[in-house]
Amino acid sequence: MKPIPDYAMSVAEQLRARTVNGELQADPAQMGVANKLDRILQDLKSRRPASKSSALGWIFAQRRKPQQQIRGLYVHGSVGRGKTMLMDLFFNLAPIEKKRRAHFHEFMADVHNRIHVHRQKLKNGETKQADPVPPVAHALRQEAQLLCFDEFTVTDIADAMILSRLFTELFSRGSILVATSNVEPVNLYRDGLNRGLFLPFIDLLSRHVEVASLDSPTDYRMEKSEGLPVYVAPLSVETKLKMDMAWNRVTAGLPEASIEIEMKGRQIEVPKAAGRAARFAFAELCERPLGASDYLAIAKRFDIVFIENVPHLGPEKRNETKRFIILIDALYDASVRVFISAVAMPEQLLTEKKGTEGFEFDRTVSRLFEMRSEDYFALHKEKRRKTP
């Protein structure tokens, strides 16, 4: 491929260059979102002083023209349409030092951890601030003004109850939000417990971000579904033998043992581990009270994860379905190689498409397909090469 030219300093220009190079197909829907991201880039550039030597001039300019808050962007659309790619292009071009790019589950796990630490300080008499949200928001804003979140989704009531207060504080401090999601804002936390308490966040979001739909006709990730046979179905003796053979090949004679991962004063049980590979039953991961932070810890500790005996996911398994969605998000985001045995193929696992899980499971299905692709395997190998 030809290198991207130096003049391609906008998302739209980067997109055009990659189309000319043959890396991407021309897509008007993607270009429309690229232009909206470029609006934010231009707003960020206009906020920067012309040069360090003209600091006084910049100060006087600021007095003459008060700055308005930069409005962010919330991009929603079906899976595999290029939302993540566009965000990556934007983030790399953003002319700002204090910026953060994260999966939304990872960010919220960080927020809850900071709140926990603050409450411990309050308990120990190290602070008199009873409300942890303002100081946590202040610390987050000090670290990053631009927040870029991939797969913005809300399925956990603990996240839902804190988002409005947290982002009220962040936006008041000048934070800029750019996010991708499978659902439009009005459908966030749909059918969630006590959703009425979450609705103020949707109103807050609409005031601080532009909402854009990416309705490309092509699912680019589904085009790459050819890959190694790492998803086997239906469940049978033959399926079990295939999983055993894959495990033996992956572990290559390394000693096996059950281990525990330390997590905030408690233990995550791993029934079988060998080197940087782990083997779980679906029930051990998704029928226990585990959350995003637990799955992120597993993804950080292991390069390869086996998940066996995934059942049909009906309305009676709503909690298990939520956990499975979050689990796959965490493993995918960390480029973990996943081997799965299941009762059916990914698109047939969810027996009833209803509520938030119905929307979110479309992403899970697409990711399970992509995790079988050559491209995903290449990402996994690169991660393993960099792992000490």
Domain boundaries, the chain: 11-213, 222-386
CB 154 within 8 Å of CB 121: no
- Give the residue carrying structure tokens 């750019």: 178
pLDDT tens column, 308-325:
999 999 989 999 999 999
| CATH hierarchy code of domain 11-213 | 3.40.50.300
Coil, helix or strand at residue 43: helix
Residue 8 is predicted with a pLDDT of 54
CATH topology for the 222-386 domain: Rossmann fold (3.40.50)
Is the pTM higher than 0.85? The answer reads no
Between CA 374 and CA 369 the distance in angstroms is 11
**Phi, psi (degrees; rounded to nearest 5) at 289:** -75, 65
In this predicted model, what pLDDT tens digit does every residue of 3-48 receive, in sequence order?
A: 544 445 799 999 998 888 877 788 889 999 999 999 999 999 987 6
Angle among Cα 154, 157, 158 to the nearest 5 degrees reads 100
For residue 108, what pLDDT is reported? 92
Kindly state the percentage of the chain with pLDDT values over 70.
86
Residue 65 predicted with pLDDT over 70: no
pLDDT at 109 over 50: yes
- In angstroms, what CA-CA distances link 152 with 21, 147, 184, 295, 301? 31, 12, 10, 17, 24
Task: Specify the higher pLDDT residue, 326 or 266.
Answer: 326
pLDDT of residue 48: 62
Model confidence pLDDT, tens digit, residues 157-170: 889 999 999 999 99
328 has a pLDDT exceeding 50: yes
Question: Alpha-carbon distance 280 to 324, whole Å?
Answer: 13
Handedness of CA 177, 222, 342, 387 (dihedral sign): negative
